[in-house]
Each structure stands twice: as structure tokens, then as C-alpha cells.
Amino acid sequence: MEEKIRQSITAITEEANGEEALKMLYMSAYFVPAKNMHLDMFLGLFDDNDEDLDAAIQLLQKKSLIESHNKQAFLVKKNVQNEIRTFLKQNGKEENVLTEAIYLLTFHLLKDEIHPNYVDHALFLLTYVREYDELTEISVNLPSLIVTALSKQNRLGEAYTFGEMALEFLEKTVGESHAATLSLQHNLAVVLDARGQYAKAIKVLQELNKKDFKYSTTGEVTKSLILYAKTLFELSKYEDALRLYQIILGERTLDCKIALDSEISTAWHDYALLLSDMGRHSEAMDILQDVLSQRKKVLSPDNQYGLSTKRSMASVLQSQGKYIQAMKHLQEVFHESTKIYGEYYPGTLQAERDIGTLLLHKGDHKKALKKLEKVEKKFQKIFAESHPDILCTRANIVGALIHLKKYDRALQIAEDVYEAYKKIFGETHKETLQAKFNIGNIFLKQGKLEGAEHMLQDVYRGYHDIFGPEHHKTVEMKDTLDILAVHKKYFPERRILHAAAQKGDLNKIVSLIQNGENVNEADSEGRTPLHYAASNGHINVAKYLLMMGAMYNAGDFRKATPYQLASDEHMKDLLILIHELFKGVKSGTLINIAGHTELINTRDKNGYSLLHSAVYHSHKLVVQQLLDAGADPKSISLKGNTPLHVASSKGNKEIAEILLQSVTGNKLSDLVNFKTAGGGNTALHVAAENNDRDMLKCLLMHGAIYDIQNKDGRHFNISRLFYAHVGCIIVRFKIDEILNLLPVTDYKNLSNFFLPKMLHCGCFLSGNDLDQLQLQSCHELYENDKTAQCKIYSFYPY
């Protein structure tokens, strides 16, 4: 194979366009294998001559060096890449090829719109640049460009993880005062801002401002301060943002020179929006009109800044209730943008969506819904389903559906939007909280008060943390919860289930529980529905409640249990039987549960099921017996713990395996990643807290999400596990992609599938540890797999 490739390379040098074809091939050897390499990337090598580029592609394809299935892209096989890299290194050409590849990707990453693969190729390229100190200076700007490109592609998690690692390297190599270091730190703050991590963004910006004043030019300082002000604005810290904007803008007046400075011009624009949010609409409108006027003087008529300014003016007018004027501005923007950029240009669609939103505010709900659904379909043709523009549009559709009382459809969309926002931005981002508020609002409309209260309490806590207790959103949410509490106190909705249990109305009870009523809800006396079923002798109702997870020995406010209130011997016998079942499980006795499967999910006063108890007391055979009989592995205690949480806390890997193997598919994912209601901890958090490496391995192999956060924003540190497990720290920005391809079922599968991909994406060691750990760590996972190949890269910044 090696000799054949060398012969092909020699033959190509003698062909027309051969030199350029080889340049393209050589650079491709350092890009992601088996991933499309778009021809546009290399067009500059051929002086933008498509015919010469096509000829070069045909030449390389003829020699079997590449694969091309269409006219837009080609692939290079991994084994071909390996041979080419070996050839280049042996002939002393590798450094020159890497230099050309750095310049090529830098050129493309500076563009506003690029293919997502370009970023992946840049990330992969940097794993080879590490071997040449001379290339550090020319590649020093790539990390910042990569972070920006990942952010534009909505890959915010990857952007931050990669950027954080790159920043640490740059500070060590070129210093904290280097322009590239400061630029990267600024871009990291932008990513944090986009993810809704405002407090963290402010901390980064405060550190950056100190460095800027020490090392940077006036322009760079101003740029950082503008972002700082914008972040304060988004946190609704209006007074702080106002003071900072006034410092930044100072005595500056809006003129042609300012309009040419995009940073300052944008600062004026955002300052106006801040004033509008503070209720100073007239001042805001005056500033926006000046911004628009000055931009028109210096920018071309089709400049998008002018159109975005008009949209902002419409927003201010809408806040003032001037709907006719606002609609006029939006329609102008929509028609101008359609004429200049086309109907599928994002700015055009955003203007059209604004029209739909304005219709919603005016009360034209049917027209608004029709308009918004039309916009959603257009967005879906140019963006992925998770794109923020699509989610924003769908959130507005939810609002229209709520007004039209189409609650079921509204709830379905609202839940999808909430899950998407949570995945992109996290649980505490303001957009995620707004989506959660929509769900709570729908529950209120449907009369599902318990569900509404749960959702709105989460929203209130989120608003309190983000905006503070005095912000109008926080205050409004607190008022809503207070009203809901009064409603629940004086109206009977929460006691319908108790009344049905008292009457023995089994059909009503089944319907209520299926619609979300809590089987263990306590009334004003602390009594659950089981108390009323027991005291009135409704044995069938009691059995159903116990089957649905009723707590058989819960005491009311006077400590009275259902057994103590039982009115007949049959009821008492039933409750004694349950007590004996729990007693047998605790002692590890193999119980005759097959004859009492309707009682298998009953719970004690702590919310522990029989399965919880068997797991807690480490009775493996009883655990298996209960699962075989139909015990629910996702039953939840009063503290929100599943049996898997209990197994993790006890460090019982064998029982954890039994629990995890009892479910498959989505049910497995739900179980292994289930969060407690209080702290939001998964079984992985528990294992990490206990430094239980074996349990961590077990959970990860069954699909545990390694960086899942609890309600404190804490997550398990993946590097600690894999330093012990693999002997190296994994480059984390690729782990999400790889873990999504799991689960694997045994250790050998893990080694065959997981490790090579992790290492190939950029696994690295600190320099001094490489020789010592390389063979040892690989041998641990590969001892039974002699065909596997493993390449561990020593540390490089990115």
C-alpha cells in the first residue's frame, strides 16, 4: 500500500495541475478522516478556476487516493491519510504542509458563513500542529476563530470546553497579555453570555477588563466593556448597565464616523433598547432614529444593520402600544429584506415572525398563528430543528394556541421547546425558564394545579437567581404562586381524590391518578387517600392505591396510620401482609411475591418501595425476584431517590447492573440519568461524590450523561474518572458526540468502540507522563484485543 501511494504521488507530479492536486491531498491528510472535504475549501489553490479543480479531483480519484461521490466534496480514507503523513514526515515536508493548512483554514474561518465541517477539520488539524513549536505563533489565532465558528453553529458546549482548554495553553505559551489570549477570553465570555451563564460571563469579563486596561489598546478595552454592559443588560441589572453604557459612550455624539465603528454603533443601539426596557421609550426612539439616519449616510442601502435598527424601532413602538406604527416599520423591513436578500434570508424571516408576534399582541390570534406557522416552515428549510430561531417561533406559536384554548397541542409544542432549550442553554437560562413558564401556564388553564405549581416554582427560583428578588419578572411570578396557594387552600381541587377514596369511587380514582393526581397527597389533616379508603373499608380502592405506590404506613398529623384507622379485618390483614413483605425484604428472605403482584410497588412512610428496601439492604436475589415480578425500577422515594441512587450510594455495583439490565432503550436512559427532585442529582453524581470508580464505569457504560448538571450547576468531573480509567485526560469537547453513540454492553465493547474514537479525537497526556502511562493505560483496555490500534497524543493546547 505504501509503495503504491508513493508511485501515485510521483505520477501525479508529472500531470497538469499535479502540483496543486498534491497540495490539496497533502493538506487533506491532516483533516478529519472519512468526513466530507468540500471543494470550495481548496478553490483558491486553483485561482478560483473550477475546471482546474475538477481536473485535479479526477486525477486524485483515478489514482485511488480519494473518493468522490458528488461534485461538491470528496473523502480521504484513514489508511491513505496515515501513509501520506508518514511520507511527508520522512521527506521533511510536514511542517510546510501544516503551515499551508493553517493559513487555508484561517482564511475560511474568517468568513461569515462556512460549512460545519470546516470547524471539525480545524480542530483535527491542531492535534498535529503541536509537534512544531515554530507553528505556535501562526496558529495562535485559530482557537478564537474556532470558538466563534462553533458559536455560530450553535455548538456552544463544544465552543466553551475547547476554548477553555485553549486559553489555558495560550496563557502558558504566549502569555496572558498576548492579543490572541485576550481575544479568546473575550470570545469565551460571548459564549457564556449566549448560554445564559451571565454571572460566569461577568466574572470572565471583569478579569478581562483588568487585563485590557493593563495590556490592550483603547479600542480593545472598549470592546470588552461593551460586552460587559450587554451582559448586565441581559441580566436585567439595568442601573449597572446604564452607568456602564454612559461611561462607554461618554460625550460621543452619533455621527458618520461613529456609524462606521460597528462596535460603538451597536453599543448605541443596545443602549436604546435598555432605555426602552426601563420605560424610557421616547429617548430610546430618538437614539434609534439617529442610529438609522447615520447608518444610512455611510452604509449601502442593503446593509442589514439598517434593517435590524428598524426592527428594534418597531419593538419600542410595540412596547408603547403603538401597534399601527410598529406594523408599518415591520412590513417595510420585511419587504426590503425580501427584495434584497430573498424570502428565506434569516433577517427576512425574523421580520416576518415579528409581524406574527405583533398580531398576537394585538389580539388577532388566528392570524398570528397562521403567520407564525408559515414562518416556522420556512425556518425549517434553512435551519436544524434545534436552531434558536425555530424555537423562538415555536414558543410564539404556543402563545397563540393558548389564547385559542388549544391546550393539548400547545402543551406538546411547549414541552418540545423546553427540552430543546434545556439541551442547548441549560435549565437556568431565561429562554428555558420562559418555556417552562408556558408549560405551567397551560397546566393552570387545564386546571392541573399541582403540575402548574411545580413548574412555576422552578421558574420563580430561576428568575430569582438570574434577575434578583426585585425584578418585575420575579415579582410577577411570586404573585402568581401566592394566588395559586390561596386558590388551592379555599377550593377543593386538591381534595377530589380524597373524597373519591372516601366514597369508594374507584373509576374516579383511576381517572384522577392517570391525569397526574398524587396518590400520596396529604390533605389539611395530613391524611392521604389510603387513610380514607382504609377507614371506610373500601378494599378494592385500597389495593389500587397501593398498586399505584401509596405509602402503607404513612401517619397523618396525629401520627395515625391507615392500619390504625382501618374499619374491618380484611383491610387490616391487607396492611399486615404488606408489613410482612417489607420485613421479609429487609431480612433478605425470598418472599412469595408472585401471589401479590398488585402490592409490588407499594411504599413505606419514607417513600421506599420493596425494591428500594431490597437494594438498600444489598439483597441481590430479592432484587432480581422483585424485578422479575414487575417491580418498577424507577420508583421514587420522598427524597426523590430511585433504587439506582440507593445502589450507587451503597457502592453495590452488582445490584446496579441488575437494575440497569432490567430496562432498555429510552427507559434505560431515563433511569440512569434520573435526577432527584431536590438537588437534581443523578446516580452518577452520587458515585462521583463517593469516589467510586467501579460504579462510575458501570453507569457510564449504560449511558449515563457524563456532564449532566444538578440544580447547583455542579457536574461530575469526567477527567478524574478517565485519568484513573484510561490513564489520560480526555479532550472533552468530543465526548458528547461519542457518548451519544453508546450504550455498550461490556468492557471489551467499551475498549473496541469507545477508546479508539476518544483517542483519535484528541486524547492527550501531560508531557512527562506520556512514556510512563501510554503502554500501561492502553494495555488495561486492550489486553484481550490484539488487533486494536491506539495512538495517544501528547499534550497540545487545543
pLDDT in tens, 290-327: 888 876 766 555 567 788 889 999 999 988 889 999 99
Rounded CA gap, 187 and 543, in Å?
60
Q: Where in the chain is the domain with CATH 1.25.40.10?
A: 140-250, 342-491
Tens of pLDDT, residues 727-741: 333 333 334 444 444
Q: How confident is the model at residue 131 (pLDDT cuts 50, 70, 90)?
A: confident
Tens of pLDDT, residues 23-48: 999 999 999 887 888 888 888 888 87
CB 144 within 8 A of CB 184: yes
Phi, psi of 127 (to 5 degrees): -70, -15
Region 68-72 average pLDDT? 74
pTM of the model: 0.47
Q: What angle do CA 97, 98, 100 make, to 5 degrees?
A: 65
Return the pLDDT at 408: 86
Tens of pLDDT, residues 482-527: 877 765 665 444 468 898 998 999 998 998 888 788 899 887 677 8
Rounded CA gap, 635 and 646, in Å?
11
User: Taking the CB of residue 321, how many other CB atoms lie within 10 A of it?
Assistant: 10
Residue 769: is its pLDDT beyond 50?
no
Ranked by mean pLDDT, the top range of 195-199, 521-525, 573-577 is 573-577
User: Taking the CB of residue 113, how many other CB atoms lie within 10 A of it?
Assistant: 6
Distance of CA 69 to the CA centre of its chain: 34
Cα-based distances in Å from 26 to 33, 41, 81, 474, 526: 13, 14, 8, 58, 75
Q: How confident is the model at residue 591 (pLDDT cuts 50, 70, 90)?
A: low
Residue with cell 453599543: 267
Residue 613: is its pLDDT beyond 70?
yes
Q: Where in the chain is the domain with CATH 1.25.40.20?
A: 499-600
Rounded CA gap, 380 and 636, in Å?
39
β-sheet bridge partners, residue 765: 794
For domain 1-120, the CATH class is: mainly alpha
Q: How confident is the model at residue 788 (pLDDT cuts 50, 70, 90)?
A: very low
Q: Where in the chain is the domain with CATH 1.10.10?
A: 1-120
User: Taking the CB of residue 217, how many other CB atoms lie within 10 A of it?
Assistant: 10
Q: How confident is the model at residue 210 (pLDDT cuts 50, 70, 90)?
A: low
The percent of residues above 70 in pLDDT, for the chain, comes to 81
Return the pLDDT at 10: 85
Rounded CA gap, 191 and 210, in Å?
20
Residue with cell 421580520: 351
Return the pLDDT at 775: 35
What grid cell was written down for 357? 408576534
Residue 715: is its pLDDT beyond 60?
no
Q: Is CATH 1.25.40.10 the right assignment for the domain spanning 342-491?
A: yes
In this structure, which CATH number among 1.25.40.10, 3.60.15.10, 3.40.50.2300, 2.160.10.10 belongs to the domain 140-250? 1.25.40.10
Which CATH fold topology does 499-600 show?
Answer: 1.25.40
Return the pLDDT at 15: 84
Q: How confident is the model at residue 795 (pLDDT cuts 50, 70, 90)?
A: very low
- Verify cis geometry, omega within 30 degrees of 0, for the bond prior to 388: no
Among candidate residues 36, 30, 21, the one with its CA nearest the CA of residue 67: 36
Rounded CA gap, 192 and 201, in Å?
5
Rounded CA gap, 388 and 164, in Å?
24
What grid cell was written down for 537? 373499608
Rounded CA gap, 109 and 115, in Å?
10
Among candidate residues 759, 738, 751, 753, the one with its CA nearest the CA of residue 779: 751
CB 622 within 8 A of CB 606: no
Return the pLDDT at 211: 62
Residue with cell 414487575: 630
